[in-house]
Amino acid sequence: MFRRVLLATDFSLQAEAAYPWAARLASLNGGCVVLAHALEDDLVATAPVFAHYMAPGALDFGHYREEFRRGALKALDAAADRLRAHGVEVETQLLERGKPAQALVEAARKHRCSAIVIATHGRGGLAHLLLGSTAERVVRSAKVPVLTVHEGDVVLDGGQ
């Protein structure tokens, strides 16, 4: 049923809590995990708005973005190794366009995933109001089932 499972990660400890869930879901169906990270581009996107107020060369946004891209690719490789330790096949995807929630939903469609697994950060109150929730946006817009995982949720074996 769930042969291709998209696992969203931002490489936080909360996101890592979802790794065994995605691995278990995929392995139960002889499938694979599509491990995806969406690069945030808000700072780079707003640069033209305030660039003329800054000294020339104050921030090299192209270099800044490329360094984040390289770091994200290395982090994806390391996370994929941790997932493979669960005995599951893993594909990695670095998503570089659009808002993270939109990019993740689109990646699930493009890579023909039948489910999405994403961790929640558990922010509430003002933090949730100001920052929003990528997980919530994914749940609202995905066309496939979405499993949200909280830090501390425990994956049970099939026999339990």
- Taking 50 as the pLDDT cut, the residues of the chain under it are 125-131, 159-160
Structural contact between residues 100 and 38, judged by C-beta atoms closer than 8 angstroms: yes
* CATH tag for 4-149 (out of 3.40.190.80, 1.20.1600.10, 2.60.40.10, 3.40.50.620): 3.40.50.620
Residue 145, φ and ψ in degrees, nearest 5 = -60, 145
- Vertex 64: Cα angle to 59 and 69 (nearest 5): 170
Strand order in the sheet with 32-38: 89-95, 32-38, 4-8, 115-119, 146-149
Please report the pLDDT score of residue 158 as a whole number: 52
Domain boundaries, given as residue ranges, for the chain? 4-149
Amino acid at 94: L
Q: Which pTM was predicted?
A: 0.82
Please report the pLDDT score of residue 127 as a whole number: 42
Please report the pLDDT score of residue 29 as a whole number: 85
Please report the pLDDT score of residue 108 as a whole number: 98
* pLDDT, tens only, 59-83: 666 777 788 889 999 999 999 999 9
